[in-house]
Each structure stands twice: as C-alpha cells, then as structure tokens.
Amino acid sequence: METAQDRINRRAWASWGATRWFGTMTDWTDPGEAAALSYVAQDARDTPVLDVGVGGGRTVAMLRALSHDYLAIDYTPRLVQVCRRNHPGVAVRLMDARDLSALADNSFGLVVFSFNGIDAVDYAGRAAILREFARVLRPGGLLLFSTHNLHGPSYRENLSVFLRPPAWSANPLRLGLNAARMVVNLPLATVNYLRHSRLNQECDGYAVRVCAAHKFGIVIVYTERTAQQRALAEVGLSTEAVFGDLAATPLADGAGVEDIRWFHFIARKP
C-alpha cells in the first residue's frame, strides 16, 4: 500500500530537476562511501551484485567494476528509463525494495542501497526492506547501505537554509542568478516545509522528518547508529563496519557523530 511518504517522495524523484540531476551524477557522494565500497570490494568481486535504488545510474560503473553479474533496480519508472538510457545493455528493472519476491533466496554476494535510499520509505517499509535483503543475500554475503544520522546536522535543518545570502560571485550575471534562485526557491521551500511537516514524528531510536533536499520536497527517516545495528541484528545481519560521510576510516565505537550527516553501514549475513 502506498503511504503519504511514498507519494511525496515519488513525486520528488520523478520531477524534471531531480531526474536531470540523478541522470548526470557519476561520482561518490562522499569519502565515506568510497571507503565503504573499497571495504566490501574483495569479498564482492565476481559475485552477483544487486544495486537497489540505482536512480539515473550513478553507481552502475562503480559496481560493475566489481562484477558483471549485476542487476540494478529502482521504484521510480522515469529513473529506470534514465538509467537504461545512460547504460544500454545493463540489466535495470522496475522493482520496489520492500518486495523482492521476483528474486530468489540466497542469490547475491553483495546488495547495495546507496544515497540514503532506504530512508525514503516509512519505518515499517524499512524493516521489510531489511528482511528482503537478508533473504536474497547469500550466506557470507554483504549489505552496504547509507542512512541519515538522527543526531547529525541534516536533522536540524529548517527554513533558515533558504534565507542565507546568495553565494558571492565577481560575475554580476552569476550573482544575479544566485539571488534570483533564492527568491524563487524560498516560497516553494516554505510551502513544502509547512505541508510536509505534518508527517514529522520522533520515535525510539529514529524519527521521520521533512528534509531540506529538493526544497523540503522529501520526507525521510533518520536513525541512531545503535538503533540501526539492532534492526540489522533482528533480521539476522551482523554489523561489520560503519563509516560516516566525512572520512575514509570506520567510526570507532562511541565516537561522536554530531557532525556526520549520514552513515554507511556494512553488514554480513552469517
């Protein structure tokens, strides 16, 4: 059943601006993502790889460098089309991660859900996704996914991010464009913020909140590190390493996370 959060987020992903942006991205989101993929590379090499929430295909080349036994999926039809256009000949299917029944048990050596895609569904859907990942992973297989930090700066963002002075440029035309962009974006961000904030809620170990991305056009789940580790353990996956977005080294137990926007979790199926 489609939720209110689904309707909001699907509309954002399918917008012209988002489709164009996702379709042109080719690089790492941050140093932590690059390090996390390097961490799983040796185990995942030449094993079947499932790339979930592929969007416009940012991760296709990265993961196909590990294995050509590769399948990409996304739940947004327009982004599936963009990915197929960008990567002809690559297997890209329209599929919702909450229901991977078309895929067999114990099929993949590596499952990747990057760019905080798991945060786009409600908490019940998130639990369903983790159960499906545990099912389709081979014994010894690895899961790599990113998720927003409940105690990080992104969770604290509000409309003030759209009230900052336009970025300075010595070029008058560029400066004018930056100012015009702020004038245009602020009303839309305000409407989205007020409309979507009705879905905000704080729970034990996680929260649901409107996010500044896409002009406050999406509603996502933020989680605590320890709560996410417990959720993985509940579906039989063992957390092996956690990276933040700021550095290429794993986070130590008990490390401060106030500056980290999101985590990259690596978990293994026994």
Q: What is the pLDDT of residues 211-257, one digit of tens each?
A: 999 999 999 999 999 999 999 999 999 999 999 999 999 999 989 99
Q: Flag the least confident range among 51-60, 100-109, 163-172, 231-240.
A: 163-172
pLDDT digits (tens, 9 = 90+) for 148-194: 999 999 999 998 887 666 565 566 656 455 555 655 778 899 999 99
pLDDT score recorded for residue 161: 82
pLDDT score recorded for residue 175: 47
Rounded Cα–Cα distance for residues 125 and 220 (Å): 12
Domains of the chain: 4-149+223-268 (3.40.50.150)
